[in-house]
Copies of this chain bind each other. A is one copy, B any other.
Protein backbone atom coordinates (compact mmCIF):
# COMPACT_ATOMS: atom_id res chain seq x y z
CA UNK A 1 0.00 0.00 0.00
CA UNK A 2 2.11 2.85 -1.20
CA UNK A 3 1.27 6.45 -1.30
CA UNK A 4 0.04 7.22 -4.78
CA UNK A 5 -1.44 10.34 -6.25
CA UNK A 6 -5.20 9.97 -6.26
CA UNK A 7 -5.57 11.66 -9.60
CA UNK A 8 -4.01 9.74 -12.43
CA UNK A 9 -1.04 11.37 -14.08
CA UNK A 10 -2.01 12.61 -17.48
CA UNK A 11 -0.30 13.59 -20.62
CA UNK A 12 -0.27 17.25 -19.65
CA UNK A 13 1.61 16.48 -16.45
CA UNK A 14 4.23 14.86 -18.58
CA UNK A 15 4.24 17.81 -20.95
CA UNK A 16 4.76 20.20 -18.08
CA UNK A 17 7.60 18.36 -16.42
CA UNK A 18 9.31 17.75 -19.75
CA UNK A 19 8.81 21.36 -20.72
CA UNK A 20 7.08 20.55 -23.99
CA UNK A 21 3.56 20.65 -25.34
CA UNK A 22 1.09 17.85 -25.04
CA UNK A 23 1.31 17.25 -28.76
CA UNK A 24 4.95 16.34 -28.48
CA UNK A 25 4.20 13.88 -25.74
CA UNK A 26 1.63 12.35 -28.01
CA UNK A 27 4.15 12.13 -30.82
CA UNK A 28 6.66 10.29 -28.74
CA UNK A 29 4.14 8.01 -27.12
CA UNK A 30 2.71 7.01 -30.46
CA UNK A 31 5.95 7.28 -32.32
CA UNK A 32 4.28 9.65 -34.75
CA UNK A 33 2.61 11.08 -36.72
CA UNK A 34 5.22 13.88 -36.48
CA UNK A 35 8.90 13.56 -35.72
CA UNK A 36 10.46 14.73 -32.53
CA UNK A 37 14.07 15.77 -31.95
CA UNK A 38 15.94 12.97 -30.21
CA UNK A 39 16.88 15.17 -27.29
CA UNK A 40 13.30 16.26 -26.72
CA UNK A 41 12.05 12.73 -27.04
CA UNK A 42 14.53 11.64 -24.42
CA UNK A 43 13.31 14.32 -22.06
CA UNK A 44 9.74 13.25 -22.58
CA UNK A 45 10.58 9.63 -22.01
CA UNK A 46 12.34 10.53 -18.83
CA UNK A 47 9.33 12.46 -17.61
CA UNK A 48 7.06 9.55 -18.48
CA UNK A 49 9.31 7.26 -16.56
CA UNK A 50 9.61 9.34 -13.43
CA UNK A 51 5.95 10.19 -13.31
CA UNK A 52 4.89 6.66 -14.08
CA UNK A 53 2.65 7.91 -16.84
CA UNK A 54 0.36 5.43 -18.63
CA UNK A 55 -1.76 6.66 -21.49
CA UNK A 56 -5.48 6.36 -20.87
CA UNK A 57 -6.43 3.92 -23.60
CA UNK A 58 -10.04 4.75 -23.06
CA UNK A 59 -9.56 8.37 -23.93
CA UNK A 60 -7.47 7.37 -26.88
CA UNK A 61 -10.24 5.07 -28.03
CA UNK A 62 -12.78 7.83 -27.72
CA UNK A 63 -10.67 10.05 -29.85
CA UNK A 64 -9.62 7.45 -32.39
CA UNK A 65 -12.93 5.66 -32.46
CA UNK A 66 -11.38 2.25 -31.91
CA UNK A 67 -10.97 0.44 -28.64
CA UNK A 68 -8.94 -2.58 -29.70
CA UNK A 69 -11.30 -4.74 -27.71
CA UNK A 70 -13.13 -7.74 -29.12
CA UNK A 71 -16.27 -9.04 -27.48
CA UNK A 72 -16.91 -12.72 -27.00
CA UNK A 73 -20.26 -14.11 -25.91
CA UNK A 74 -20.45 -17.78 -25.03
CA UNK A 75 -23.10 -20.01 -23.52
CA UNK A 76 -20.68 -21.34 -20.93
CA UNK A 77 -17.03 -20.48 -20.90
CA UNK A 78 -16.25 -23.32 -18.52
CA UNK A 79 -17.31 -25.92 -21.05
CA UNK A 80 -13.92 -27.21 -22.24
CA UNK A 81 -14.88 -26.82 -25.85
CA UNK A 82 -15.70 -23.15 -25.42
CA UNK A 83 -12.84 -22.68 -23.00
CA UNK A 84 -10.40 -23.93 -25.61
CA UNK A 85 -12.12 -21.84 -28.23
CA UNK A 86 -11.88 -18.75 -26.07
CA UNK A 87 -8.23 -19.36 -25.41
CA UNK A 88 -7.48 -19.53 -29.11
CA UNK A 89 -9.53 -16.43 -29.80
CA UNK A 90 -7.70 -14.59 -27.07
CA UNK A 91 -4.40 -15.77 -28.45
CA UNK A 92 -4.93 -14.48 -31.95
CA UNK A 93 -6.63 -11.33 -30.72
CA UNK A 94 -3.65 -10.63 -28.48
CA UNK A 95 -1.25 -11.26 -31.33
CA UNK A 96 -3.06 -8.54 -33.20
CA UNK A 97 -2.98 -6.16 -30.28
CA UNK A 98 -6.51 -6.66 -29.11
CA UNK A 99 -7.97 -7.63 -25.82
CA UNK A 100 -10.93 -9.91 -25.15
CA UNK A 101 -14.06 -8.96 -23.31
CA UNK A 102 -15.83 -12.13 -22.37
CA UNK A 103 -19.36 -12.77 -21.24
CA UNK A 104 -21.54 -15.81 -20.59
CA UNK A 105 -25.10 -16.04 -21.77
CA UNK A 106 -25.93 -19.33 -20.05
CA UNK A 107 -27.90 -20.02 -23.18
CA UNK A 108 -30.45 -17.40 -22.30
CA UNK A 109 -31.71 -15.56 -25.35
CA UNK A 110 -32.43 -12.24 -23.69
CA UNK A 111 -29.21 -12.27 -21.83
CA UNK A 112 -27.37 -13.04 -25.04
CA UNK A 113 -28.91 -10.07 -26.77
CA UNK A 114 -28.28 -7.78 -23.83
CA UNK A 115 -24.66 -8.80 -23.61
CA UNK A 116 -24.08 -8.07 -27.25
CA UNK A 117 -25.72 -4.66 -26.83
CA UNK A 118 -23.53 -3.95 -23.87
CA UNK A 119 -20.38 -4.90 -25.70
CA UNK A 120 -21.34 -2.82 -28.68
CA UNK A 121 -21.96 0.12 -26.37
CA UNK A 122 -18.48 -0.37 -25.05
CA UNK A 123 -17.29 0.23 -28.58
CA UNK A 124 -15.69 -3.13 -29.08
CA UNK A 125 -14.20 -3.48 -32.53
CA UNK A 126 -16.34 -6.51 -33.18
CA UNK A 127 -18.19 -9.24 -31.40
CA UNK A 128 -18.05 -13.01 -31.61
CA UNK A 129 -21.12 -14.90 -30.53
CA UNK A 130 -21.55 -18.60 -29.99
CA UNK A 131 -25.11 -19.59 -29.48
CA UNK A 132 -26.44 -23.11 -29.66
CA UNK A 133 -29.73 -21.70 -30.79
CA UNK A 134 -31.13 -22.69 -34.18
CA UNK A 135 -31.60 -20.03 -36.80
CA UNK A 136 -35.30 -19.52 -36.20
CA UNK A 137 -34.79 -18.76 -32.55
CA UNK A 138 -31.88 -16.42 -32.88
CA UNK A 139 -32.61 -12.93 -31.70
CA UNK A 140 -29.68 -10.72 -32.51
CA UNK A 141 -29.97 -7.18 -33.76
CA UNK A 142 -27.65 -6.13 -36.52
CA UNK A 143 -25.36 -3.45 -35.19
CA UNK A 144 -22.86 -1.32 -36.98
CA UNK A 145 -20.10 -3.44 -35.53
CA UNK A 146 -18.89 -6.60 -37.25
CA UNK A 147 -20.50 -9.57 -35.60
CA UNK A 148 -19.47 -13.10 -36.35
CA UNK A 149 -21.40 -16.10 -35.23
CA UNK A 150 -19.40 -19.08 -34.04
CA UNK A 151 -20.22 -22.75 -34.07
CA UNK A 152 -22.95 -22.44 -36.68
CA UNK A 153 -23.99 -25.00 -39.22
CA UNK A 154 -25.08 -22.57 -41.89
CA UNK A 155 -25.48 -18.95 -42.89
CA UNK A 156 -27.37 -16.46 -40.76
CA UNK A 157 -28.82 -13.51 -42.65
CA UNK A 158 -27.16 -10.26 -41.69
CA UNK A 159 -24.12 -11.86 -40.08
CA UNK A 160 -20.91 -13.59 -40.87
CA UNK A 161 -21.07 -17.13 -39.57
CA UNK A 162 -18.70 -20.05 -39.35
CA UNK A 163 -18.52 -23.52 -37.95
CA UNK A 164 -17.32 -27.06 -38.52
CA UNK A 165 -18.87 -29.42 -40.99
CA UNK A 166 -21.11 -30.99 -38.39
CA UNK A 167 -22.84 -33.32 -40.77
CA UNK A 168 -19.74 -34.73 -42.40
CA UNK A 169 -17.93 -35.00 -39.10
CA UNK A 170 -20.76 -36.88 -37.46
CA UNK A 171 -21.15 -39.09 -40.49
CA UNK A 172 -17.46 -39.91 -40.52
CA UNK A 173 -17.30 -40.99 -36.95
CA UNK A 174 -20.51 -43.00 -37.18
CA UNK A 175 -19.36 -44.61 -40.41
CA UNK A 176 -16.16 -45.64 -38.73
CA UNK A 177 -18.22 -47.61 -36.23
CA UNK A 178 -20.37 -49.09 -38.95
CA UNK A 179 -17.65 -50.12 -41.34
CA UNK A 180 -14.40 -50.68 -39.51
CA UNK A 181 -16.09 -52.13 -36.46
CA UNK A 182 -19.05 -53.66 -38.17
CA UNK A 183 -21.58 -52.37 -35.73
CA UNK A 184 -25.16 -53.27 -36.53
CA UNK A 185 -26.36 -49.87 -35.37
CA UNK A 186 -25.37 -46.77 -33.47
CA UNK A 187 -27.42 -45.17 -30.75
CA UNK A 188 -27.48 -41.37 -30.71
CA UNK A 189 -26.94 -39.31 -27.56
CA UNK A 190 -27.67 -35.78 -28.59
CA UNK A 191 -28.62 -32.37 -27.25
CA UNK A 192 -32.05 -31.33 -26.08
CA UNK A 193 -34.45 -30.69 -28.90
CA UNK A 194 -36.09 -27.31 -29.24
CA UNK A 195 -34.03 -24.24 -28.62
CA UNK A 196 -30.70 -25.98 -28.88
CA UNK A 197 -29.55 -27.33 -32.15
CA UNK A 198 -27.61 -30.46 -32.73
CA UNK A 199 -29.59 -31.05 -35.86
CA UNK A 200 -26.75 -31.23 -38.30
CA UNK A 201 -24.88 -33.66 -36.11
CA UNK A 202 -28.03 -35.76 -35.95
CA UNK A 203 -28.32 -35.51 -39.67
CA UNK A 204 -24.80 -36.83 -40.15
CA UNK A 205 -25.60 -39.78 -37.95
CA UNK A 206 -28.77 -40.47 -39.93
CA UNK A 207 -26.89 -40.14 -43.19
CA UNK A 208 -24.27 -42.68 -42.23
CA UNK A 209 -26.90 -45.11 -41.06
CA UNK A 210 -28.77 -44.75 -44.33
CA UNK A 211 -25.64 -45.07 -46.40
CA UNK A 212 -24.88 -48.46 -44.93
CA UNK A 213 -28.46 -49.58 -44.78
CA UNK A 214 -28.74 -49.78 -41.01
CA UNK A 215 -31.92 -49.19 -39.06
CA UNK A 216 -32.29 -46.05 -37.01
CA UNK A 217 -31.63 -47.08 -33.45
CA UNK A 218 -33.16 -45.05 -30.62
CA UNK A 219 -32.25 -41.45 -29.82
CA UNK A 220 -31.64 -40.11 -26.34
CA UNK A 221 -31.64 -36.42 -25.56
CA UNK A 222 -29.93 -34.48 -22.82
CA UNK A 223 -27.94 -31.42 -22.01
CA UNK A 224 -24.56 -30.58 -23.50
CA UNK A 225 -22.70 -31.36 -20.31
CA UNK A 226 -21.11 -34.19 -18.41
CA UNK A 227 -24.16 -34.70 -16.30
CA UNK A 228 -26.35 -34.56 -19.38
CA UNK A 229 -24.29 -37.38 -20.81
CA UNK A 230 -24.46 -39.28 -17.55
CA UNK A 231 -28.22 -38.99 -17.42
CA UNK A 232 -28.51 -40.15 -21.00
CA UNK A 233 -26.29 -43.11 -20.21
CA UNK A 234 -28.52 -44.20 -17.35
CA UNK A 235 -31.60 -43.78 -19.45
CA UNK A 236 -30.07 -45.71 -22.30
CA UNK A 237 -29.22 -48.66 -20.14
CA UNK A 238 -32.82 -49.04 -19.11
CA UNK A 239 -33.55 -50.10 -22.66
CA UNK A 240 -30.66 -52.55 -22.73
CA UNK A 241 -27.01 -52.42 -23.62
CA UNK A 242 -26.34 -50.74 -26.98
CA UNK A 243 -23.61 -51.95 -29.27
CA UNK A 244 -22.34 -48.50 -30.03
CA UNK A 245 -23.14 -44.92 -29.15
CA UNK A 246 -22.43 -41.58 -30.80
CA UNK A 247 -22.45 -38.65 -28.38
CA UNK A 248 -22.76 -35.23 -29.96
CA UNK A 249 -20.14 -33.71 -27.70
CA UNK A 250 -17.08 -34.82 -25.76
CA UNK A 251 -18.64 -33.72 -22.52
CA UNK A 252 -21.67 -35.88 -23.11
CA UNK A 253 -19.42 -38.79 -23.99
CA UNK A 254 -17.49 -38.37 -20.77
CA UNK A 255 -20.70 -38.49 -18.75
CA UNK A 256 -21.87 -41.47 -20.74
CA UNK A 257 -18.61 -43.26 -20.05
CA UNK A 258 -19.14 -42.80 -16.36
CA UNK A 259 -22.61 -44.30 -16.53
CA UNK A 260 -21.32 -47.23 -18.54
CA UNK A 261 -18.45 -47.87 -16.14
CA UNK A 262 -20.73 -47.72 -13.15
CA UNK A 263 -22.94 -50.32 -14.76
CA UNK A 264 -19.91 -52.59 -14.99
CA UNK A 265 -19.78 -52.37 -18.75
CA UNK A 266 -16.48 -52.31 -20.59
CA UNK A 267 -15.76 -49.79 -23.31
CA UNK A 268 -15.18 -50.61 -26.14
CA UNK A 269 -15.63 -54.37 -25.56
CA UNK A 270 -19.26 -54.17 -24.47
CA UNK A 271 -20.16 -50.78 -25.85
CA UNK A 272 -18.27 -48.71 -28.38
CA UNK A 273 -18.40 -44.94 -28.01
CA UNK A 274 -17.48 -42.06 -30.28
CA UNK A 275 -18.08 -38.35 -30.01
CA UNK A 276 -17.85 -34.93 -31.56
CA UNK A 277 -15.50 -32.05 -30.68
CA UNK A 278 -12.08 -33.43 -29.89
CA UNK A 279 -11.23 -31.25 -26.91
CA UNK A 280 -8.14 -32.29 -25.06
CA UNK A 281 -10.27 -33.93 -22.41
CA UNK A 282 -11.22 -36.51 -25.02
CA UNK A 283 -7.63 -37.69 -25.19
CA UNK A 284 -7.56 -38.39 -21.46
CA UNK A 285 -10.79 -40.15 -20.72
CA UNK A 286 -10.73 -43.87 -20.16
CA UNK A 287 -10.80 -45.26 -22.68
CA UNK A 288 -9.57 -42.40 -24.80
CA UNK A 289 -12.27 -41.19 -27.16
CA UNK A 290 -12.46 -41.60 -30.88
CA UNK A 291 -13.81 -38.28 -32.11
CA UNK A 292 -14.52 -35.94 -34.97
CA UNK A 293 -12.21 -33.11 -34.04
CA UNK A 294 -13.11 -29.52 -34.76
CA UNK A 295 -10.24 -27.34 -35.96
CA UNK A 296 -10.62 -24.89 -33.11
CA UNK A 297 -7.47 -22.91 -33.75
CA UNK A 298 -8.27 -22.29 -37.41
CA UNK A 299 -11.83 -21.34 -36.66
CA UNK A 300 -10.74 -18.94 -33.97
CA UNK A 301 -8.26 -17.34 -36.32
CA UNK A 302 -10.84 -17.04 -39.05
CA UNK A 303 -13.32 -15.50 -36.66
CA UNK A 304 -10.93 -12.86 -35.44
CA UNK A 305 -9.75 -12.13 -38.96
CA UNK A 306 -13.32 -11.73 -40.11
CA UNK A 307 -13.95 -9.21 -37.37
CA UNK A 308 -10.74 -7.31 -37.80
CA UNK A 309 -10.41 -7.37 -41.55
CA UNK A 310 -14.10 -7.26 -42.25
CA UNK A 311 -13.79 -9.95 -44.85
CA UNK A 312 -16.95 -11.95 -45.26
CA UNK A 313 -16.83 -15.41 -46.83
CA UNK A 314 -18.97 -16.07 -49.88
CA UNK A 315 -22.53 -16.61 -48.78
CA UNK A 316 -21.68 -15.20 -45.39
CA UNK A 317 -20.74 -18.63 -44.12
CA UNK A 318 -17.55 -20.57 -43.89
CA UNK A 319 -17.40 -24.24 -43.07
CA UNK A 320 -14.37 -26.08 -41.68
CA UNK A 321 -13.60 -29.74 -42.16
CA UNK A 322 -13.28 -31.92 -39.09
CA UNK A 323 -10.70 -34.61 -38.54
CA UNK A 324 -11.45 -38.18 -37.55
CA UNK A 325 -9.20 -38.94 -34.62
CA UNK A 326 -9.16 -42.64 -33.95
CA UNK A 327 -8.38 -43.63 -30.40
CA UNK A 328 -9.62 -46.53 -28.30
CA UNK A 329 -13.25 -46.04 -27.39
CA UNK A 330 -14.39 -47.25 -30.80
CA UNK A 331 -12.57 -50.54 -30.51
CA UNK A 332 -9.41 -49.64 -32.35
CA UNK A 333 -6.36 -50.41 -30.27
CA UNK A 334 -2.89 -49.21 -29.99
CA UNK A 335 -3.43 -45.66 -31.02
CA UNK A 336 -2.73 -43.21 -28.29
CA UNK A 337 -3.12 -40.10 -30.38
CA UNK A 338 -3.30 -36.94 -28.38
- A residues contacting B by CB (< 8 A) are 1-2, 4-6, 8, 54-59, 61-62, 67, 69, 76-78, 80, 83-84, 86-87, 90-91, 94, 99-104, 117-123, 142-144, 158, 226-227, 230, 254-255, 257-258, 261-262, 280-281, 283-288, 336, 338
Contacts and interface: CB of A to CB of B under 8 A. Distances in A.
Q: Which 8 A-B pairs have the closest CB atoms?
A: A83-B83, A78-B87, A286-B286, A57-B121, A4-B144, A78-B83, A58-B123, A226-B284
A205 to B, nearest CB: 23
A230 B336 CA distance: 12
21 contacts: A2-B142, A4-B143, A6-B144, A54-B117, A56-B123, A57-B118, A58-B123, A59-B62, A77-B86, A77-B87, A83-B83, A87-B104, A90-B104, A99-B118, A102-B102, A226-B283, A254-B284, A255-B284, A257-B286, A258-B286, A285-B285
Contact of A83 (B57, B80, B100): B80
Contact of A62 (B62, B87, B284): B62
A284 B227 CA distance: 9
Contact of A100 (B6, B103, B336): B103
A121 B78 contact: no
B120 A91 contact: no
Contacts of A99: 101, 103, 118-119, 122
Stoichiometry, as copies per complex, reads 2
Contacts of A288: 258
A8 to B, nearest CB: 7
A81 to B, nearest CB: 10
A268 B119 CA distance: 49
Nearest to A71: B99
Contacts of A94: 103-104
Nearest to A4: B144
Contacts of A4: 142-144
A261 B4 CA distance: 56
A259 B165 CA distance: 33
A2 B158 contact: yes
A58 B61 contact: yes
